[in-house]
Amino acid sequence: MTPHEFITKWSNSKLKERSAAQSHFNDLCQLLGEPSPTDVDRDGEDYAFEVGATKTTGGRGFADVFKRGYFGWEYKGTHANLDTAFAQLQRYAVALDNPPLLIVSDIGTTIRIHTNWTNSVSKTYEIAIADLEDADKRQWLKDAFNDPERLRPKKTRQELTEEVAGEVAADSDEAGHAFQDEAGHLFRFHSGRRSDLKPATS
């Protein structure tokens, strides 16, 4: 399947999640030249559709696609709220052995890849279905299937915290200097005003 064929078939599709998710994913595999779950894992242990998972909030649900050590993937209907889908997938993450990538997609407009490494800054790669002719964006998906490490953010959470703390300290110093300069200016201004005043005469 070519990018143009995929875009033509799926862009703004009106199909519901349940009826379209697996077909959409299989077409995406064809587009990327990747095997689908049923091509390589007949037991459904490490790469499968509809993998049951216990939610961190209690109860059970299903990840639409799961590839152990690579990603969990949650689908929604076209134009659905993908933030809600991401929150849902996060509740499954522990039961799915905390895959490095949490991917959410609606059927017809958007795919989002969220990184999920411990002690790494989270990063989101967003791919519009209409932009799948862009080789760089298709590569993000190829990396998700084959080499998630290529999508890992470079900064750790500690490094980000230290960077933010440094910026806050610099801003505080700058604000302190500005306050001192302004206070000095006001002091000189009022001192000058007082020296201009003449004593009242009777």
DSSP 109-158: SEEEEEE--TTB---EEEEEGGGTT-HHHHHHHHHHHH-GGGGS-SSBHH
The pTM score is: 0.76
Residue range 10-58, pLDDT digits in tens: 999 999 998 999 999 999 999 999 999 999 999 999 999 999 888 877 7
Domain ranges, residue 124: 3-151
Over residues 98-128, the pLDDT tens digits come to 999 999 999 999 999 999 998 889 999 999 9
Is residue 202 over pLDDT 50? no
Share of the chain above pLDDT 70, in %: 77
pLDDT for 159: 54
Residues 146 and 166 in one domain: no
Over the stretch 158-201, which tens digit does the pLDDT of each residue have? Answer: 554 555 565 665 566 676 666 566 656 655 655 665 555 555 55
Q: Do 62 and 161 sit in the same domain of this protein?
A: no
Residues 177, 104 within the same domain: no
Q: Is the pLDDT of residue 89 over 60?
A: yes
> Are 58 and 76 in the same domain?
yes
What is the maximum alpha-carbon separation in the chain?
Answer: 109
Q: Is residue 12 located within the same domain as residue 58?
A: yes
For residues 112 and 139, state if they share a domain.
yes
User: Which is nearest to 16 in space by CA: 107, 114, 111, 102?
Assistant: 107
Residues 114, 24 within the same domain: yes
User: Which backbone phi and psi does 64 adopt, to 5 degrees?
Assistant: -65, -40
Let me know whether 127 and 29 are in one domain: yes
Domain count, the chain: 2
If asked whether residues 40 and 119 sit together in one domain, one would say yes
Question: Do the strands 110-115 and 71-76 form a parallel or antiparallel pair, or are they unpaired?
Answer: unpaired
